[in-house]
Homo-oligomer: A and B are copies of this chain.
Amino acid sequence: MKIYLAGPDVFLPDAVEIGRRKAAICERHGLIGLYPLDNAIDLTSPDASLAIFKGNEAMMDSADAIIANLTPFRGPSADAGTVYELGYMAGRGKLCFAYSNDPALYTERVARSFAVTKAATGHLIDGEGLAVENFGLTDNLMMIHSLELHGAELVMPRQRPTDIWHDLASFEACVALAADRATGKSD
């Protein structure tokens, strides 16, 4: 089973190293991890971003599953590029797994950065007057329920680890879920 390793990990200063660690964990479980930075891209080319897109799309098309890192990125929700990839893989009928190293509810995450108030209707609203999703989930319902129906529930640690960008315990739990699926131990 080939697994596309999606996440804002590619923006880390040690992005290549974390990709190697993730691929090694996949290998230990008998799976093949495909990491976006494995594609050789000439970053000095004016078409670099298009080449990255095409490389990632081809990599996703060649994979059987995705493990997406949905740890909140620059706001209360997951990284947009990663979320796009999760949606793309669900649309292609691939197996979808994901983890988040922040187990906080979406309402709590929003309240960290925005002034959330309760409207007369009982709804939570932000400073612009837009409703804050309040279903007891950790992020937007489209991702959370997609995982339940297209793969497995979002994996989260009980507590946010000290280093949310390098702790791979929840990632490895996703790999174990994928390996069980690959060997037919669960469906």
Contact = CB atoms under 8 A, between A and B. Distances in A.
A169 to B, nearest CB: 20
Given A8-B130, A85-B142, A91-B90, A78 B76 contact: no
Given A76-B75, A87-B86, A81 B143 contact: yes
A110 B11 CA distance: 14
- Indicate the member of A12, A86, A88, A89 with the most B CB atoms within 10 Å: A88
A119 to B, nearest CB: 8
A186 B78 CA distance: 35
A52 B144 CA distance: 12
Interface stretch (A25-33, A133-141, A151-159, A170-178): A133-141
Given A135-B49, A141-B53, A80 B83 contact: yes
Contacts of A140: 79-81, 84
Interface string A39-69: 0000000001110111011000000000000
A187 interface: no
A142 B78 contact: no
Contacts of A84: 83-84, 86-87, 90, 140, 142-143, 146
Given A75-B74, A86-B87, A91-B90, A81 B141 contact: yes
